[in-house]
Amino acid sequence: DAKTTQPPSMDCAEGRAANLPCNHSTISGNEYVYWYRQIHSQGPQYIIHGLKNNETNEMASLIITEDRKSSTLILPHATLRDTAVYYCIVRVKNDYKLSFGAGTTVTVRA
Amino acid sequence: EPEVTQTPSHQVTQMGQEVILRCVPISNHLYFYWYRQILGQKVEFLVSFYNNEISEKSEIFDDQFSVERPDGSNFTLKIRSTKLEDSAMYFCASSEASGLTYNEQFFGPGTRLTVL
């Protein structure tokens, strides 16, 4: 029942921008795109979310295509501490649960 | 910075025994959740809890599981008769009242449950 598709893994050089893609071609009008990450089997950590406009916070930027069928999470200056599994989640605003997929394992290399 | 705490960090139990996993959510949060992650697998939603009742639960959350908020600070997950397949990391999470805006879920560090 996965609503999102992400590459299983990607590498990134320290100090460079990391661009994490996510496909959500069946997203409906009332569903938001959320990103969480999980470092070393710790509890997941919220990063950012958006509906249709691009969003930016202190951690990352979220770019959502105009048709909303895909999005990209951008970590502007990746550090070694950004090595984690990144999850793209599609969720109706008032839905209680988060439905995690397999995510993308991002490895930041020095 | 406020955080969700969980105890114990690691629990080892014999099959068939009851276990209680404990969580202290962030103090002004009103929504509470349990998730689990079997080693090497996805994080799975178990249950959400609001206003002293379950608001949503997954198929995993069968009669062997129960949740409780016994006082103003703790939130517990009880597994009545543990099975080998209950071995997993259990994460507690909490969020503010959701209202019309999304409130991010803050996760605890997890309790690793090992059933022998």
Question: A96 falls in which pLDDT band (50, 70, 90)?
Answer: confident
Residues in chain A within 8 Å Cβ distance of B89: 41
Rounded to an integer, the average pLDDT of B82-91 is 98
* pLDDT tens readout for residues A16-38: 999 999 999 999 988 999 999 99
* Least confident stretch, A2-16, A19-33, A61-75, B92-106: B92-106
Residue type, B105: Q
* pLDDT tens readout for residues B13-66: 999 999 999 999 999 899 999 999 999 999 999 999 998 999 999 999 999 999
- Do β-strands B53-57 and B31-37 pair in parallel, antiparallel, or remain unpaired? unpaired
Among candidates A44, A94, A101 on the partner chain, residue whose Cβ is nearest the Cβ of B107: A44
Among candidates A38, A99, A101 on the partner chain, residue whose Cβ is nearest the Cβ of B45: A99
* Least confident stretch, A2-6, B36-40, B89-93, B112-116: A2-6
Residue A12 has pLDDT above 70, yes or no: yes
Question: Could you give the dihedral angle defined by the CA atoms of residues A87, A93, A97 and A98, in that order, rounded to the nearest 10 degrees?
Answer: 0
Residue B100 has pLDDT above 60, yes or no: no
A41/B106 CB distance under 8 A: no
| Residues whose CB falls within 8 Å of the CB of residue B105, separated by 6 or more in sequence, listed in order | A44, A46, A98, B31, B33, B93, B94, B95
Residues, chain A: 110
Give the span between the Cα atoms of A46 and A34, in whole angstroms. 8
Query: Phi/psi zone of residue A81: left (φ > 0), alpha (ψ -120 to 50 degrees), beta?
Result: alpha
Q: How far is CA A45 from CA A40, A41, B57, B93, in A?
A: 12, 11, 21, 10
Among candidates B48, B89, B106 on the partner chain, residue whose Cβ is nearest the Cβ of A96: B48
Q: Mean of the per-residue pLDDT values for chain B?
A: 93
Structure tokens given for B78:
């009880």
Starting at the edge strand found earlier in the chain, the sheet holding B5-7 runs B5-7, B19-24, B75-79, B65-68
Question: A56 falls in which pLDDT band (50, 70, 90)?
Answer: very high
Residue B77 has pLDDT above 60, yes or no: yes
Closest approach of A98 to chain B, Cα-based (Å): 7
Residue A80: what are its φ and ψ, rounded to 5°?
-60, -30
State the alpha helices, DSSP H only, in chain B.
none
